[in-house]
Amino acid sequence: MEMKVYFRTIKDLPEDEYFGPGQLTCAGCGPSIAVRWLLKAAGSDVIVVNATGCIEVTTTSYPYTAWSVPYLHVAFENSAAAASGVEAALKALRRKGILDTKAKVMVIAGDGGTYDIGLQALSGMLERGHGILYVLYDNEAYMNTGIQRSGGTPHFAWTTTSPVGSKFKGKVQRKKDIMSIVIGHHIPYAATANIAYPIDLANKVKTAFDYIDEGPAFIHVIAPCPPGWRYPEEMTVEIARLATETGYFPLYEWDHGRIRFNPPSNTHLDKSRRKPIIEYLKRQGRFAHLTEEDIKEIEKEIDEYWDYLARLAKAFG
């Protein structure tokens, strides 16, 4: 099964904007790029349910809203539950002939509202099979409250609650594999995506909505954060690109029980085709304290993850 391609080249990407400008995100904000493209790919007929986080507080600061689509924010941990209610409402009202809307439902939540406090609601939504696209924009920490570690923070990364001291240096635990958790719910479609590859991201949003009548979809987008990852603002896209080029954040899809790698990750099963991980790490202040040993450890973890993916691809390819 081939990847679905709605947009082949950059020229095919849609013009209409449904997000911003004027939101209070930092200059160079990765999640802002993610959300802009999520909405452009989804179109105007979408209802966004957003968890508390960077995107939520910067885009709905009363009396201004950056959203040109219907938008609901309830709380931090329950975007999947609130979206379940929206989806059910649309279903019931359509069936009763009270509303004739064809609107789709898309959750936009950060790693804070997904990996940890939001995991229960996400799991419930996936288990119940709601026709909702859940998009996780991952800036790898609770950024909105000032850079505290989350389940999505990578091993060794500095955050304010996993600081670099004499006894402990950065996050002690590894990054939770949220995609495996989601895939374990056996939903029709899940994919990773990257703000540095907006064409790939847009195609995946459209694919997800194509399958939405069959059940829930999940997209995990890596979205770097200048103040949280400690790098100059203009590097956001370059660092996101390196995340995939070094094999740290592979691009792949889980499409009806089959794993499919997307370019450039489709060449990265061969380690020699991946850029050295140091290229990714050395550009970020949150990894500035890493020793040679730490970097070798990270390399080993990435190799192990690719080994796991290789075996998944073999079993589910």
Partner 1 sequence: MMKQLTWKDLPIGGVIVEPGNARKNLTGTWRTERPVIDQDACIRCRICWMYCPEPAILELKKPYTTKSGKKYDLTYEIDYDHCKGCGICAHECPVKAIKMVSEVVG
Partner 2 sequence: MEIAKTLSIREEIVKERVGLTSNYAAAYAVKAVDVDVIAAYPITPQTTIIEKLAELVANGEIDAEYIPVESEHSALSAVVGAAAAGARVFTATSAQGLEFMHEVLHIASGLRLPIVMAVPGRALSAPISIHGDYQDIMNAKDSGWIMLIASTAQEVYDSIIMAYRIAEDNRVLVPVMVSYDGFLMSHTTEPVELYHEDYVRKFTPRNLNRLKLDPRKPITIGVIASPDWYYEIKYQVVNALKESRGVIKEIHGEFNKTFGTNYDIVERYMLDDADYVLITYGGASSGNAKEAVRRARERGLRAGVLRIRLFRPFPVDEVVSSIKDAKMVAVVDRALSPGSTYEGPVFNDVVTALYSKGIEKPVISVVHGISQRTMLADDFYNLYKTLDEYARTGEYPRKTIFLGLRG
DSSP type of residue 113: I
Tally the C-alpha atoms within 13 A of residue 211's C-alpha that lie toward its C-beta.
Answer: 21
Q: Interaction with partner 1 in 224-253: which residues (CB under 8 A)?
A: 226, 232-238
Closest CA to 178 of 124, 122, 225: 122
According to the binding rule CB under 8 A, does residue 36 interact with partner 1? yes
State the CB neighbour count (10 A cutoff) for residue 74: 15
Per-residue binding letters, 64-103, with partner 1 (x by CB under 8 A): xxxxxx----------------------------------
Among 8, 17, 168, 271, binds partner 1 (CB under 8 A): 17
Q: Interaction with partner 2 in 127-156: which residues (CB under 8 A)?
A: 127-128
Residue 74, binding choice from partner 1, partner 2, none, Cβ under 5 to 8 Å by partner class: partner 2
Q: Which stretch binds partner 1 (CB under 8 A): 60-68, 100-108, 182-190, 280-288?
A: 60-68
Residue 78, binding choice from partner 1, partner 2, none, Cβ under 5 to 8 Å by partner class: partner 2
According to the binding rule CB under 8 A, does residue 11 interact with partner 1? yes
Contacts of 83 (CB under 8 A, 6+ apart): 49, 105, 106, 107, 125, 130, 132, 134
Tally the C-alpha atoms within 13 A of residue 187's C-alpha that lie toward its C-beta.
Answer: 32
Gap between the Cα atoms of 251 and 261, Å rounded: 6
Sequence length of the chain is 317
- In the block, tokens 């690109």 appear at 241
Least Å distance, CB 307 to partner 1, is: 33
Q: Which residues in this chain contact partner 1 in the complex, by CB under 8 A?
A: 10-11, 13, 15, 17-18, 20-30, 32-33, 36, 59-60, 62-69, 195, 198, 226, 232-238
